[in-house]
Amino acid sequence: MQHQRTPEAATMPEVIFPGPEGRLEGRFQPGPRPRAPVAMILHPHPQGGGTMNNRIVQALYQTFAKRGFATLRFNFRGVGKSQGVFDNGVGELSDAASALDWVQSIHPEAQTTWIAGFSFGAWIGMQLLMRRPEIKGFISIAPPANMYDFTFLAPCPSSGIIIQGEADEVVTPGAVQKLVDKLRTQRHITIHHDTIPGANHFFEHEMPQLMGSVDRYLDMRLSQ
């Protein structure tokens, strides 16, 4: 029996590109023009079942693609068809850097670069922000500020938004608030912070509110 491609699959070509530990698997939506902006989406913790097919990752991917970004989501090492084994964030940061290199090789004239991540992916994304001055905006959903050290954000080089569920049982809202307060003391950047009422870590019933927050922020930033 022939496997039928859904319309969604047709617009999301599967890509395989080189990472530090072998091949990495992703989905890539090329930009509509050479200078299209670039966006990369990072998935939650691989050992908690996180993959690039996480619904928040997919929703972020779709909103950037819809806005004309060259958009990539990919599986960290050891997830799906990506080679290698989980490396506690160290190797995953190298994977993210390689993935961004790959997108930039296709769109070397990109006018701007954004990074978005959920949970563990938000932590990796914010580390990548420190290494890559071309990243001008970030979306950080439920960054695990109570589990990982975020002191590397000194100073945070770009403006962005941090979105948190009010009833998050994994990442304590207080830890995220502390992170936001610390980042807000820095000059030349603006940190937006949205709390979604009633939402748990996975925004189980609050996806419309979550994506509404993302879209309002992107509308505001991209119209500037």
Q: What are phi and psi of 31, to 5 degrees?
A: -75, 155
* Letter string b/e over residues 39-57, b meaning 16 or more CB atoms within 10 A of that residue's CB: bbbbbbbbeeebbbebebb
pLDDT over threshold 80, residue 24: yes
Could you read off the pLDDT of 78-102 as tens digits, one per residue? 999 999 999 999 999 999 999 999 9
pLDDT digits (tens, 9 = 90+) for 209-218: 999 999 999 9
pLDDT digits (tens, 9 = 90+) for 108-167: 999 999 999 999 999 999 999 999 999 999 999 999 999 999 999 988 999 999 999 999
- Exposed e or buried b per residue across 159-189, where buried means at least 16 C-beta atoms within 10 angstroms of its C-beta: bbbbbbbeebebbebebbeebbebbeeeeee
How long, in residues, is the chain? Answer: 224
pLDDT at residue 6, as a whole number: 39
Quickly state the pLDDT bin for 30 (edges 50, 70, 90).
very high
Provide φ and ψ at 172, rounded to 5°: -70, 130
Mean of pLDDT values over 48-63: 98
Tell me, what's the pLDDT at 34? 87
Residue 3 has pLDDT above 60, yes or no: no
Percent of the chain predicted with pLDDT > 90: 92
pLDDT of 10 strictly over 70 = no
Which residues are 4's β-sheet partners?
A: none
Q: In whole angstroms, what is the distance from residue 148 CA to residue 93 CA?
A: 14
Locate the DSSP E strands across 153-210: 159-165, 191-196
Is 163:139 a contact under the CB 8 Å cutoff? Answer: yes
Residues ≥6 apart with Cβ < 8 Å to 82: 19, 22, 23, 24, 25, 74, 75, 76, 95
Phi-psi sector, 84: left (phi>0), alpha (psi -120 to 50), beta: left
- Beta partners for 203? none
Q: How far apart are the first and last CA of the chain?
A: 50
pLDDT confidence of 21, banded at 50, 70, 90?
very high
